[in-house]
Amino acid sequence: MATIIKSDEERPAIAPRENVVFVSEFEKDTEEKILRDEKQREKHTLMTMTLNEIVENTIKVVAMFGHEYTKHIYQVSQDHKLRGIPETFINKLKLYLLAFINYLGEKDNIMYMGIILCFVSIIIYFFNISTS
């Protein structure tokens, strides 16, 4: 595959091949199957879940909050130690906020925390009505 590009150049060079792709039929079929399966897979949303699944997952998020949040605090604190950030009140506050944001970004935790907050706001609303 080595060709001489210029007549005065004696070193061989690899000739460029344009638009030539070496892909076997098996690789093509596998790639098409993966793409087809990915398109057909049903997207996991709140509207496609049953009420039972939503309640179970919300309870699971509440039950595991302490453990999961502690893991995120540990990860962020290790990152702060690695960077050499001093332990001041503001930096501790940043640590806990970053850990909480990381926790919310994991899986569907933000959706379930939103459900919990809506439920709590309804309870507060009923207490407000009953005391008025």
pLDDT of 38 reads 77
pLDDT of 95 reads 93
| Percent of the chain as helix, strand, coil, to the nearest 5 | 70, 5, 25
pLDDT category of residue 10 using cuts at 50, 70 and 90: low
For residue 72, pLDDT beyond 60:
yes
For residue 3, pLDDT beyond 60:
no
pLDDT of 41 reads 72
For residue 24, pLDDT beyond 80:
no
For CA atoms 32, 33, 35, 36, the dihedral sign is positive
d(CA 46, CA 43): 10
The residues facing 2 across adjacent strands are 14
Query: Averaged over 86-100, what is the pLDDT?
Result: 93
